[in-house]
């Protein structure tokens, strides 16, 4: 089952959306929008960009591992490479 985008009201005339996984886990929460229409546009932007977006690891974990294997020389992480889950 696919995730679900939910639009909710945060306060007086402010809205946000959240993406929940099939098991109910909240995967993402948006910033606030001034209208439901703007929140819906934000959902569309996420859907379009997530389908083609690259994963870039900026955690530094790759750099530390590469550095220890390269005799102390720091190596920059490659961008645009898939990050393994788990």
Task: Give the model confidence (pLDDT) of 62-73 as tens digits.
Answer: 665 554 554 555
pTM passes above 0.85: no
Span 5-44, pLDDT tens digits = 999 999 899 999 999 999 999 999 999 999 999 999 999 9
Phi/psi region, residue 24 (left: phi>0; alpha: psi -120 to 50; beta: rest), is: left
Mean pLDDT within 57-80: 60
- Which domains does the chain carry? 4-69 (3.30.160.160)
> What whole-number distance in Å separates Cα of residue 19 and Cα of residue 21?
7
């Amino acid at each position: 089952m696919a995730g679900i985008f939910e639009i909710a009201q945060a306060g007086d005339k402010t809205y946000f959306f959240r993406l929940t996984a099939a098991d109910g886990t909240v995967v993402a929460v948006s910033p606030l929008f001034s209208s439901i229409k703007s929140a819906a546009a934000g959902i569309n932007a996420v859907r379009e960009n997530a389908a083609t977006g690259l994963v870039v690891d900026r955690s530094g974990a790759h750099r530390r591992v590469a550095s220890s294997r390269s005799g102390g020389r720091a190596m920059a992480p490659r961008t645009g490479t898939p990050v393994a889950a788990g």
